[in-house]
Structures are given as C-alpha cells and as structure tokens.
Structure 1
Amino acid sequence: MAGARPVVVGVDGSPPSLRAALWAADEAARVGRPLQVVLVNDAPSREARAEVDADDAAERCRRAHPGLAVLAEVAAGHPAQELVRRSEGASVLVVGSHGHGVFREALLGSVGTSVATHARCPVVVVRGTPRSEGPVTVGVDDSPGSQVALRHAFRWAADRRAGLVAVQALPDAHFTAGVYPPLDPQEIRTRADLHLAEQLAGWCSEHPDVRVHRHVANQHPVEALCSVAEDAQLLVVGHRGRGGFAGLLLGSVAGGVLHHAPCPVAVVRTG
C-alpha cells in the first residue's frame, strides 16, 4: 500500500519483544501495511549487537509473512522518546510487555507505559501468548472519548472476523463502602446496561457482521476487564476518559490492565 502509515514495532532482542514483532507482522499483513522494526539503542558500544537483534527480528517477520514489506532500523536515543516520536507517522505502535535481552532497558514496563501514555497513535502492548481466536474486548464508560476506543475496537474485531465484548464497569459508588449514599444495585446495573447499549448502537449498525456481547460488571474496572479478557485476542482501553462512570478509561485503569491483562492490550488515546 503505497504511502500507507506503517505498523511500527519496538524490539530489544528479548523473547517478549520478538513475540511483539510477530504480532505486529500479523497486524501489518492483515491490514496491508508495511512493517517497521525499530531497536532504540542508547549505548553506542552495543551498536553491533543492536544491528544483529534488529535484523533477526525483521527476518523472523519476513519468514512468517513472505511478501510483507519489512524494514529494520537501529535508532539512537532514549527508547521512550524515540518510540513516541515514531508514533507520529505510525498506524499503530507495538511493544512487548517486558524486555529481558541486552537492550532490556528499552522496553521495560515503565517505558512501555510511557509510550502508551504519550504516543500519538494506538499502542499495543503484547502480553502473554498472543492468540488468533477469541473476541476483542473493549472497556466503555460514558465519556466522549469512549467512542474513540469503540471505533478502534470495532475495526480490530471486523479485521479479525471476531466477536466483540463491551465491558461497562459499575460506578465506584457501588463497590466503595462508606463513601457515597447507598444505591440500589439493580438500578445501577440496569442504567449501566442501557447506557452501554446506547453507546454501541451506532457502531453495531456500522459493523453488522461483528457479533457484540454486552457485559455489565459489578467489579473494579481493572478486575472486570482482565477477567473478561481471559479468552480474548485483544483488550482495548482508552485513557483520559471522563464522565459519570468515572475512572474506566483513566490512565490508572489503562496502567492496571497493562500490568495484569492476560492478552495483548491496545491503548487508544482519547483526549
């Protein structure tokens, strides 16, 4: 696809980053975009090793998808800053959950979280063992930004011919004792389910082939999302969400699922 924004993956030579590279190759092949494999090296003395690791990751991707346009590159600089800079021209930025190789500093959790927070495109943090089956799970609140997360979640589900599970966590008032006046649990659940159906209506019409399941959870958002995502191939969350169901798409929740989700997590900037 001439002129298409590439799928960009950050690698560091570790097994988690190689899994991230293969996930990114699958995504690039699925949507018909080129793949850019980037290793950010912040130590000139390791330049030779950096070239080897970047080329190895790229070659694995080429073997997995013959014909896929794959470019390997070693960049100098601070890993998080450089990957965030690359996100300006990327369709999606992919990283592993933890690095354990010589360049382990590049993709440790703190850097991955920083990239997911500041990137200008969706960021996928590849956790666990990626699977090619199962639904796409998405967290929903009543913020305008939630529609951005839904747009990406429906697209990913449609691209994968997968179902979609939309999760609406109940307000903090329901599970935080002694802070708010007691509310009727059934009333809260009914209101949340109705609001969830309203948020999904337009996207269901736009993607009639995507099977949608609504899930209203009487749990903290992080716990609810990670539980529902046990059999998911991708969990989609936003950050900087606002609204009556406050907290679902805030950074603290996105950070929580990045550390605990059982599957790859896509973080979509909604602000």
Structure 2
Amino acid sequence: MSTPVVVGVDGTGRSLRAVMWAAHDAFLRARPLRIVHTLPRYEMDIPLFPPGRFELAEEHGRAVIAEAVAIVRQAYPDVPCSTALPMRSPAAALIEESARAQGIVLGSKGDNVGNLLLGSTALQVVGHADCPVIVVGHVSAGHNRIVAGADGSPGSTAALAYAFEEAHLRGADLHVISALGLPQGWPTHLLRPLPEDNAEVDVRHQVVEQQLASLRHQHPGVNVVLSAHRLDPLAALDSASQHADLLVLGSRGLGGFHGLAIGSTTHKMLHFANCPVAVVRATSRDIP
C-alpha cells in the first residue's frame, strides 16, 4: 500500500478541521488516510488514575476515531482509511508515524497566545518529523493560491518542491516570496529601503530563480510568481497568508541558530499565519 497521509485527532473541532484537510490532501494524492489518536501510557500514567479511568480513556479514544472516520467516509468515500490507537505520547506516536507517511497533519490549539497557541506536541512533531508537517489553524479556501517562502537555503528548496506538488494537485497558482528583511537601523514603519539596496535583491532573485528552474520544468502547468524584496519576512508572509490556501515553509532558513529544530520565522508563522502551514525539513526523505 502507498504511504498514507496521517492525521492526529483528539476530538476537538480543531482536529476535525485537520481531518478534513488531510482527507482532501489524501484524495488529491490518491493516498490512503491514517487517523491516529493516542491513549495514556499504561505503565506511566495509569497509576495516577482512579480505577476505570483507562477504560474510559480507551472508550473516548475509540469514539474520537469513529467520528473522524465517519466524517471522512461521508466526504471522501473513495479514500481508504485506517486507524491507530497507540499507547504513546502524541508527539512520539506521530514522529514514529512520520517515518512511513506522506505527511503529518495536525490542528493548532486555538485562542491562547504564545507557545500555548500551537502546543508542545505540534512543535515537537514539526521539529522532528521525517516528512512534511501541516498545521491547520485557520482554514482558508477559494484563493486558488499556494504561498511559499524561499531564501536559497536547502530547507527552502525542499519547501518549494512540496509547494509545487500542492499547487499542481490543486490547480493553484504558486506565489514564491523571498524577503531579505529591512536594512539594519531602517525605520520599521517605512516599507521600502533606499534604491541602492536593489543589487542585493537582484542577487536573491537570481538565487531563488535557480532553485525554481528544475521545478518549473517538472511542473510546467503551475503558474509561478516570484517576489523578492527588502521587507520583513514575517510581515511579507503574514500578508500573503491572508490570500492563500496554504503557506509552505522550510524548517530552517539561512539565519538563526542551527541547533534549533525550527527557525524563528517558521516558528512565528506557525502561530500567526492566516491559513494552514506546511513545514518541510531539508532532511525529509522523498516518498515515492
């Protein structure tokens, strides 16, 4: 059987949004869907519970899985669907699933702020999964546009390949953004720097065009627009995400501390993007 799209569910509305996104992606890719819900780890967690609590957790888990399966079968009856109810931490279970998945899909937490908005499970999976991870917070549709961030790094090369695939599958345009950031000391309320910075922008444009060349050849039907400019990356990506069906980013760019699992721009966009965000690590393997 071909590698599945995997979605983690917990019974909340946000995870059901993730189920619908994952089911649609599985349908477009002609892949099976695998629905995962984790149970408490008996040897670690159950001694803390009163008698019968594990049975309740298992019953609840099976109900969560059944609800997700019913939604998928109603919306996409031709998508093969399997389930898993592992006794693991959610992050560990999904990272393990990523070794044999086309992609991992998760819902974000909702209305809180800071790290609580995304949740530690999603951050761990994004940082360590062996396949693309899609975090579904705000659901958008109808823009017919995929947005990808690119800076010439290996991480953005992997992200661009995934973005081309998604654009091809969805019949969408692809808007590639390469924002160099404002010059040091430049007033943040001014959107455009002085003209003499254009040379650096031109170099970046050429670098990203080189990244795009082979991908354009592989997907000649995808309409691609490249925007390279001297704007703050967060502001540029946030604005673009308001008119996109998916934002695709590499896990790390050219800057920052390389000991971190994901870069600061990707981390912040996971919290604040106005559409689902796919994070693609440069080390993720290609899945046939």
TM over 0.5: yes
C-alpha separation in 2, matches of 1:150 and 1:40: 32
Residue type of the alignment partner of 1:165: H
Deviations 1:218-269 (A, max 9, x none): 3222221121121111111011333xxx35x952111111001100100001
**Residue 141 of structure 2 corresponds to residue 162 of structure 1:** no
Matched, 1:225 2:233: no
The one-letter code sitting in structure 2 at the alignment partner of 1:231 is H
Q: Quick one: which of 4, 14, 31 aligns to 2:2?
A: 4
**Residue 185 (structure 1) aligned with residue 185 (structure 2):** no
- 2:101 partner SS: coil
Deviates more, 1:259-268 or 1:127-136: 127-136
**Identity score, percent:** 37
Q: What residue number does 2:59 align with?
A: 48
Asked whether the 8 Å contact 1:31–1:159 carries over to 2, the reply is yes
1:15 maps to a residue whose letter is G
Structure 1: unaligned runs, 5 residues or longer: 101-106
Alignment partners' CA distance in 1, 2:230 and 2:99: 38
Amino acid of the residue matched to residue 67 of structure 2? D
Q: What is the aligned-residue RMSD (CA, Å)?
A: 2.2
Q: What secondary structure sits across from 1:177 in the alignment?
A: coil
Secondary structure at the counterpart of residue 109 of structure 2: coil
2:83 is aligned with 1:85: no
Q: Distance in 2 between matches of 1:146 and 1:16?
A: 28
Tell me which residue corresponds to 1:13: 11
Aligned-partner Cα distance in 2 for 1:217–1:122: 27
Q: Following TM superposition, by how much is the alpha carbon of 1:140 offset from its aligned partner in structure 2, in angstroms?
A: 0.5
Which sits farther off after the overlay, 133-142 or 15-24? Answer: 133-142
With the length of structure 2 as denominator, give the TM-score of the two structures.
0.82
CA contact (8 A) 2:175 2:226 kept: yes
Local SS of the residue matching 2:154: coil
What is the Cα deviation at residue 216 of structure 1?
A: 1.8
The reply to whether residue 33 of structure 1 matches residue 19 of structure 2 is no
Residues 41 and 50 of structure 1 are in contact (CA less than 8 Å); yes or no, is this contact kept in structure 2? yes
Larger Rg: 2
The structure 1 segments of at least 4 consecutive aligned residues displaced by more than 4 Å after TM superposition are none
Partner of 1:41, secondary structure, is coil
| TM-score with structure 1 setting the length | 0.87
Q: Which residue of 2 aligns with 1:104?
A: none
SS at match of 1:190: helix
Among candidates 128, 131, 136, match of residue 126 of structure 1: 136
Q: How many residues align?
A: 254
Task: Give the deviation of 1:108 after TM superposition.
Answer: 5.2
What SS does the aligned partner of 1:136 have?
Answer: strand
Distance in 1, matches of 2:135 and 2:103, equals: 11
1:150 aligns to 2:160 (yes or no): yes
